[in-house]
Structure 1
Amino acid sequence: MADTFTFELVSPEKLMLSGAAEIVTVPAVEGDMGVLSNHAPVMTSLRPGLVSVKMADGDETEYFVKGGFADITPDAVTVLAEFAIPRGELTSEMMAGQRKAAEEAMNAEKDENRKADHQSYLDQLTHFEETHL
């Protein structure tokens, strides 16, 4: 049995998943990041993407997350997501709604730097949709 660590995925609505995990992959802003037990401490922001988890009991699951951050320590990973949903419940209609909201936020923004941030986020959503749905 591989070394395990505590994993929690939390959305604003509820605790989505909690337990002992063997490996977690998070969609960090700099790229996907695999985490095993005894990982160096790090905190990273998340981009839209999949959190993949292999639990100690062998169960494997994926959640789509949108924004938030991951706090990683040698013995725990906590993902605090702005939005999280099991991958099996994610639909094209949901993604279209997410894209529409991002487009509206970008178009309403007056500050060019913030507008660029919104465009980057919209690009990330579009890329996720094109590669995963």
Structure 2
Amino acid sequence: MAEAFKFELVSPERLLVSEDVESVVIPGAEGEMTVMADHAPVMTTIKPGVVTVNTAGGKTDRYVVFGGFADILPEGCTLLAESATHVDKLNREELTRRIQEAREDLSDASEHHERTRLEEYLGQLTTLEGAILPA
């Protein structure tokens, strides 16, 4: 059994998770990363994706996050999400709305750097849509 550590998932609306866990898989900006007890200190931005939480009690939960950042220390991990919800509570309409808004922002963008960022964000949202919502 892996050693447990404190994990918190916080969105502007509420605290979604605050418990001892064995591991957390987060969608870091540079790729997915698994956090376990005694992890080296790291701060990373989070891209839209799924956070998988493996609790100390053996339960697995999944949450959809739409950006933010994670502060990882040897004794715990705090993920501050721009927006987050349990994967079972995400509805197609909400995700479709976010994708449409990203498309509109992309069509209005004039600077190359902004267009590149929005293209990447739109790609992340559509990948997320394909990964968690049935066709």
Q: Deviations over 1:68-125 (max 9, x none)?
A: 0111111110000001010001122111011011112222222121111001100111
Segment of structure 1 superposing worse, 51-60 or 18-27: 51-60
Q: Deviations over 1:31-57 (max 9, x none)?
A: 110111001111111111111101112
Match of 2:41 in 1: 41
- Distance in 1, Cα, partners of 2:52 & 2:88: 13
Find the residue that maps to 2:38 and give its secondary structure: coil
Find the residue that maps to 1:3 and give its secondary structure: coil
Match of 1:16 in 2: 16
TM-score (norm 1): 0.95
TM-score (norm 2): 0.94
Match of 2:90 in 1: 90
Match of 1:73 in 2: 73
For structure 2, the residue ranges without an aligned partner over 5 or more in a row are none
Segment of structure 1 superposing worse, 72-81 or 110-119: 110-119
Match of 2:131 in 1: 131
- Distance in 1, Cα, partners of 2:33 & 2:107: 31
Match of 2:102 in 1: 102
Segment of structure 1 superposing worse, 104-113 or 22-31: 104-113
> What is the CA RMSD across the aligned residues, in angstroms?
1.1
Segments ≥4 residues shifted beyond 2 Å = none
- Distance in 2, Cα, partners of 1:51 & 1:128: 12
